[in-house]
């Protein structure tokens, strides 16, 4: 039974999206995916938060270096996640159509693609780490610290690529809790290692900024091994073999992944490169501004975890429903119910972000008062723009992606970021010399525009496309 068949009875009795959103079976179905994904995302982002908190005790240069260099790593991570999520669209529809074998083949091919990209990018980042750091700052100490961090941490991208694909496939099968539990173990290991290696506790060497990098590398490889042991130890349906690679290519699944996954991967990478450009622009504006952005990023990433949970639940539920061959009206009703939940969660998160702005000084106690004041104002701005960001994630990463409308997503991401937000941020930070909270509004202008245009795209309903055939085996 697929993850959406359990609410078919509810769908017969519920005639409005609002009533469906309040149906207990529907709520349970959403939470079954959204809650584990949110917790897994929180655990993953907690690594960045832990590193930022530990490193903040070392000084402003150190937190500026880790903030900027993690933006570089973020580009690579987004490319991996984009590839994984693109493949997961196909996995979800195959699973919904009843073909576990083809879902496994799609997983296999996505692992190979993501792994190949990871090896190339890992090599490039290691070789050109200094040049990458120099793009965003002229502070020689920040460049030196960031270069050391990038070269130490970048090998983690190879196991991360495999983890991302396997976790996305498990979510497509309605088994998000498993990926969450494995991520929890990785998080505990990371915190313990970071505490020991950054400060030299528990008999470990005091490696300072490099210690945070080593903690990330070791814990990521450990999490990778846990995934492998789980899948093959349990003989899981997604435990692939070499023949799945051959059969997947022969069945034309590679072309499906390429058609859907490539735009997702390119869109994720281009968006992440844009985030890097924001950091580079802010870094040119000054070390304090870069430090503030580094302080806000972990708070923002935490809030995004909730948005990612709802968006992923939407992608899985709608993807499975399309794969089952459900009629358009049922799919549209569920889509609107998911948007209702997205709006409610966004409102709660925005309120919590507003409250968090009063606690920035407590979180970063070692940072000077002027920097804390700017960070507090920026956190308040984040509370306002987050509603648009979460709405955009549900529309694009949830509904449109589930329907295979990934080319539109790519165009929207590229256009809004590179034609609107980046030029506006450049003008605000380096030409008009506006206060950083207003620069932060410029950075998030793309989310506001995308929420509007993607909402219209979803409303037109032309995005619902079935990409797989009904299973015969």
Average the pLDDT over 162-170 and give the result. Answer: 89
Q: Which of 313-327, 361-375, 436-450 shows the highest mean pLDDT? A: 436-450
Segment 388-436, tens digit of pLDDT: 988 888 888 878 877 777 778 888 888 898 899 999 999 988 888 888 8
Q: Distance (Å, rounded) from C-alpha 52 to C-alpha 4?
A: 40
What pLDDT, on a 0 to 100 scale, did the predictor assign at position 405?
77
DSSP class of residue 470 equals P
* Cα–Cα distance list, 297 to 66, 145, 215, 302, 337 (Å): 11, 19, 20, 9, 30
What pLDDT, on a 0 to 100 scale, did the predictor assign at position 87?
80
Q: Distance (Å, rounded) from C-alpha 288 to C-alpha 436?
A: 10
**Helix residue ranges per DSSP H, 98-175:** 100-127, 129-136, 140-153, 157-172
* Cα–Cα distance list, 67 to 48, 106, 136 (Å): 9, 35, 11
What pLDDT, on a 0 to 100 scale, did the predictor assign at position 158?
93
Q: Would you state the structure tokens that stand for residue 58, as one six-digit string?
A: 């070392």
What pLDDT, on a 0 to 100 scale, did the predictor assign at position 261?
67
Closest CA to 182 of 128, 229, 117: 229
Q: Would you state the structure tokens that stand for residue 422, as one six-digit string?
A: 């980046």
Q: Distance (Å, rounded) from C-alpha 172 to C-alpha 90?
A: 9
Whether the Cβ atoms of residue 80 and residue 116 lie closer than 8 Å to each other: no
Segment 13-50, tens digit of pLDDT: 444 778 887 878 888 888 877 787 777 677 766 666 67
Average the pLDDT over 189-207 and give the result. Answer: 88
What pLDDT, on a 0 to 100 scale, did the predictor assign at position 453?
92
Whether the Cβ atoms of residue 82 and residue 453 lie closer than 8 Å to each other: no
Closest CA to 427 of 419, 417, 439, 436: 439
229 pLDDT band, cuts 50/70/90, is very high
Average the pLDDT over 240-268 and give the result. Answer: 78
CB burial string 366-380: b at 16+ within 10 A, e below: ebeeebbebbbbbbb
Question: Who's near 315: CB < 8 A, 6+ residues apart?
Answer: 85, 88, 89, 92, 397, 398, 399, 401, 402
Q: What values do phi and psi take at 201, rounded to 5?
A: -85, 165
166 SS3 class: helix
What pLDDT, on a 0 to 100 scale, did the predictor assign at position 326?
61
Q: Would you state the structure tokens that stand for residue 395, as one six-digit string?
A: 């529309």
* Residue scoring higher pLDDT (191 or 276): 191
Segment 41-96, tens digit of pLDDT: 777 666 666 776 777 677 667 777 777 777 777 777 777 877 787 787 788 778 87
202 SS3 class: coil
Considering just the CA atoms, what is the radius of gyration of the chain in Å? Answer: 22
* pLDDT > 90? residue 123: yes
- Give 135-154 as a DSSP string: HH---HHHHHHHHHHHHHHG
Q: Distance (Å, rounded) from C-alpha 44 to C-alpha 80?
A: 14
217 pLDDT band, cuts 50/70/90, is very high
What pLDDT, on a 0 to 100 scale, did the predictor assign at position 1?
44
* pLDDT > 70? residue 142: yes
Whether the Cβ atoms of residue 461 and residue 398 lie closer than 8 Å to each other: no
- Give 29-80 as a DSSP string: HHHHHHHHHHHHHHHHHHHHHHHHHHHHTT-HHHHHHHHHHHHHHHHHHHHH
Ramachandran assignment for 98, one of left (phi > 0), alpha (psi -120 to 50 degrees), beta (any other): left
What pLDDT, on a 0 to 100 scale, did the predictor assign at position 159?
93
Lowest average pLDDT, out of 122-126, 161-165, 202-206, 469-473, goes to: 469-473
Mean pLDDT of the chain: 80
Q: Distance (Å, rounded) from C-alpha 369 to C-alpha 152?
A: 32
Average the pLDDT over 198-215 and give the result. Answer: 87
Closest CA to 154 of 183, 123, 182, 187: 123
Q: Distance (Å, rounded) from C-alpha 319 to C-alpha 454?
A: 18
First to last CA, the chain: 15
Q: Distance (Å, rounded) from C-alpha 55 to C-alpha 53?
A: 6
What pLDDT, on a 0 to 100 scale, did the predictor assign at position 325?
66
What pLDDT, on a 0 to 100 scale, did the predictor assign at position 317?
80
Whether the Cβ atoms of residue 91 and residue 234 lie closer than 8 Å to each other: no
What pLDDT, on a 0 to 100 scale, did the predictor assign at position 9?
47
State the burial class of residue 354 (Cβ atoms within 10 Å of its Cβ: 0-12, 13-18, 19+): middle
Q: Would you state the structure tokens that stand for residue 266, as one six-digit string?
A: 């390119």
């Amino acid at each position: 039974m697929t993850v959406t068949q359990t609410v078919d009875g509810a769908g017969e009795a519920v005639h409005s999206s609002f009533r469906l959103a309040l149906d207990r079976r529907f709520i349970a179905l959403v939470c079954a995916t959204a809650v584990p994904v949110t917790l897994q995302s929180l655990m993953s982002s907690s690594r960045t938060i832990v590193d930022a908190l530990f490193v903040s005790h070392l000084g402003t240069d150190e937190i500026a270096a880790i903030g900027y260099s993690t933006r570089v790593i973020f580009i690579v991570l987004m490319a991996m996640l984009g590839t994984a999520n693109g493949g997961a669209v196909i996995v979800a529809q195959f699973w919904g159509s009843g073909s576990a074998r083809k879902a496994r083949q799609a997983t296999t091919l996505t692992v190979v693609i993501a792994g190949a990209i990871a090896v190339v990018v890992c090599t490039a980042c290691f070789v050109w780490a200094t040049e990458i750091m120099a793009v965003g700052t002229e502070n020689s100490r920040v460049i030196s610290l960031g270069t050391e961090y990038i070269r130490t941490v970048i090998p983690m991208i190879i196991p991360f690529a495999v983890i991302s694909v396997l976790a996305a496939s498990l979510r497509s099968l309605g088994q998000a809790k498993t990926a969450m539990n494995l991520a929890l173990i990785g998080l505990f290991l990371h915190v313990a290692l970071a505490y020991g290696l950054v400060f030299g506790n528990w008999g470990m060497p005091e490696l300072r900024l490099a210690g945070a990098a080593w903690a990330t590398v070791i814990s990521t490889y450990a999490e990778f091994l846990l995934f492998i042991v789980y899948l093959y130890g349990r003989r899981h349906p997604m435990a692939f073999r070499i023949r799945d690679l051959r059969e997947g290519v022969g069945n034309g699944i590679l072309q499906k992944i390429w058609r859907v996954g490539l735009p997702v991967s390119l869109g994720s990478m281009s968006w992440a490169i844009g985030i890097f450009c924001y950091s580079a622009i802010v870094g040119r504006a000054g070390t304090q501004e870069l430090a503030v952005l580094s302080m806000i990023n972990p708070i923002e990433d935490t809030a995004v975890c909730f948005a990612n949970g709802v968006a992923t639940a939407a992608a899985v539920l709608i993807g499975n429903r399309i794969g089952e061959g459900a009629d358009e009206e049922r799919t549209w009703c569920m889509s609107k119910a998911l948007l209702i939940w997205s709006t409610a969660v966004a409102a709660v998160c925005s309120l919590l972000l507003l409250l968090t702005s009063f606690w920035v000084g407590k979180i970063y106690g070692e940072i000077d008062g002027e920097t804390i004041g700017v960070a507090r104002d920026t956190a308040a701005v984040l509370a306002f723009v987050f509603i648009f960001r979460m709405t955009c994630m549900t529309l694009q990463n949830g509904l449109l992606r589930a329907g295979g409308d990934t080319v539109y997503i790519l165009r929207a991401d590229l256009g809004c970021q590179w034609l609107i937000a980046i030029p506006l941020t450049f003008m605000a930070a380096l030409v008009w010399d506006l206060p950083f909270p207003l620069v932060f509004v410029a950075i998030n202008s793309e989310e506001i525009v995308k929420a509007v245009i993607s909402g219209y795209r979803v409303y037109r309903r032309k995005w619902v496309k079935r990409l797989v055939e009904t299973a015969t085996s």
